[in-house]
Amino acid sequence: MQATVATCHAMLMAAPASGQGKTMTTAALARAYKNRGLRVQAFKCGPDFIDGMILQVATGKPVYNLDLGMCGEADAQRLLYKAAQENDVILLEGVMGLYDGTPSCADIAERFGIPVGLVINAKSMAQTFAAIAYGLYAFRPALKKAGVIANQVGSDGHAKMIQAALPADIPWLGAMKHDTQLSLPERHLGLHLAQEITDIDQRIEAAAQLLGPEIPLPPAVQFAAPEPHITAPLLQGKTIAVAKDAAFCFTYQANLDLLQTLGATIQFFSPLQDAQLPEADAYWLPGGYPELHLDQLHPNTAMREGLLAAVQAGKPILAECGGMLTLGETLNGQPVFGLLPGSAEIQPKLQGLGTQHAAFTYADEESISIGAHTFHYGRFDTTLPVIAQGKGKYGVGEPVYQQGSITASFLHFYFPSNPALAAQFFLP
């Protein structure tokens, strides 16, 4: 019989804003605990893909997303309970500032009783650090205080000055000295991919050493068991080929897990490097950075012809964001695969951002929706028919297009938010 609760040390690492060093600090904590022989599971709050890749390097385990808006509370409870059963420490990296967004990572912390650790960039600051930490905790007194880490301190004396100013009820977890070698490079969608940073493992290890081997464990938290749920094997016997390389890499681990729970076999392929498209029942081209690899994409005529043959055979293809742009006629003025009418251009300003839910109707049944997220600089001009429309807090969102067996959108869908609908993307 399943236990009603699972207990595990847990902490949500938050900050006053983006750019404070949450990702590297959380990765350093994860590595420091792992170096002590502890089993560590990391999560990323919000729908981000890239930060999770850094955390995966630190822990050696796939990283999952927790987002009360896109993923839902039940999904978060299931993931946290499972992690608590299998690990010694759970670390969650927050998104933006502690209270930013509705719902925010503070909402996750309060809902599941997870203590909040604060990462604050202490550069050009001394005692005011304590005031910021005090204010962040005081803004919502129900939050549990795990303690603070001062990032970018200039010296041991600087760290001691900050520690001395803290109120007695705010634990001091440690400090990380300023080191330009530990900073992570960024581009328009956020940090560079972990695989692009050749010394990423060494950077994480160096950051873990800065925190030291005696970094205290976060408090123990009890996570309640989720309600029992049976997922029908709607994709039993199906093989789904998933694009995975430097151009197509924005894939939620929970999506892959769900496809397997639905009965599918997952096979990965590279539109950049593979000489042919693998044999499969359906295909998935997730988002990524195709605009950075146009010199490899269009010349791969065998891949283009393979995808065209799959469409002609009626095999389902789901193309998300960068995957959709690659199936168009041109991207940034250069020819791409040409399976969909339309031309794409990467714009200098953000074109779409936020959690949305897209409603679909299959076989004249009642409309059903699925959680999703959009974050892109692309513009796609197309005559494709719209079969569904995302909706967010601020009104109409991203369209979902369909042509033949291809479903395409700027949206990144979160499959566990509606397993039955997710299965439809891969069924003829």
Strand partners, 14: 118
Q: Which of 71, 105, 249, 321 is catalytic?
A: 321
Measured distance CA(252)–CA(284) in Å, rounded: 12
Among residues 146, 23, 34, 21, the alpha carbon closest in space to that of 89 is found at 34
Strand partners, 409: 320, 400
Measured distance CA(125)–CA(128) in Å, rounded: 6
Among residues 410, 380, 375, 412, the alpha carbon closest in space to that of 190 is found at 375
**Is the four-CA dihedral 270, 272, 330, 372 of positive or negative sign?**
positive
Among residues 394, 392, 401, the alpha carbon closest in space to that of 373 is found at 392
Q: What are the residue ranges of helices labelled H in 242-382?
A: 253-261, 294-297, 301-312, 322-327
Q: Does residue 321 have an active-site annotation? A: yes
378's tokens: 């692309």
**Residues contacting 293, CB < 8 A, separation 6+:** 246, 247, 272
Measured distance CA(223)–CA(82) in Å, rounded: 9
Burial status of residue 345 (CB atoms within 10 A of its CB: 0-12, 13-18, 19 or more): middle
Among residues 267, 303, 272, 309, the alpha carbon closest in space to that of 284 is found at 267
- Give the relative orientation of helices 200-211 and 22-35 as an angle to the nearest 10 degrees: 80
**Residues contacting 128, CB < 8 A, separation 6+:** none
Among residues 98, 88, 96, the alpha carbon closest in space to that of 59 is found at 88
Asked whether 221 and 6 are in contact (CB, 8 A), the reply is no
Length of the chain: 428
385's tokens: 């028919």
185's tokens: 């490079």
Active site members: 321
